[in-house]
Amino acid sequence: MGKTTRNKHGRKSAKRSTAAVAGTDAPELHQVLAVNLSRIRAAKNTSLGALSRKTGYTSEFLDKAEKGEQSTLLLAHVDVLADALGVDVTDLLGPRGLKDE
């Protein structure tokens, strides 16, 4: 399933991707967020700059999140993004965005 590695404390840990855990067809969570964030932001006619001002996150951070390149997203980030866009967290993390494409 995953490759066994050692963490910073020397303990064994299995690295698993979302796809490996949920099945080979499951998209990575950051990909789902990227699609939904971009789709919802466009539907709300909100620029990256405006979202940056609402959230306090840099435009670069948001741009990477929309491209699925921001690997340091926390649930707290998603909560702030959802609040700024006036949607529920599940709208950002649900699979709907990938099905629409």
Report the 10 Å Cβ neighbour count for 15: 11
Residue 29 pLDDT exceeds 70 = yes
Structural domains of the chain sorted by starting position, each given as residue range(s) with its CATH number in brackets: 27-100 (1.10.260.40)
Residue 74 half-sphere exposure toward CB, CA atoms < 13 A: 4
Q: Which residue has the higher pLDDT, 60 or 5?
A: 60
The C-alpha angle with vertex 32 and arms to 26 and 36, in degrees rounded to 5, equals 150
pTM of the full structure? 0.70
Per-residue model confidence as pLDDT tens digits over 36-94: 999 999 999 999 999 999 999 999 999 999 999 987 889 999 999 999 999 999 999 98
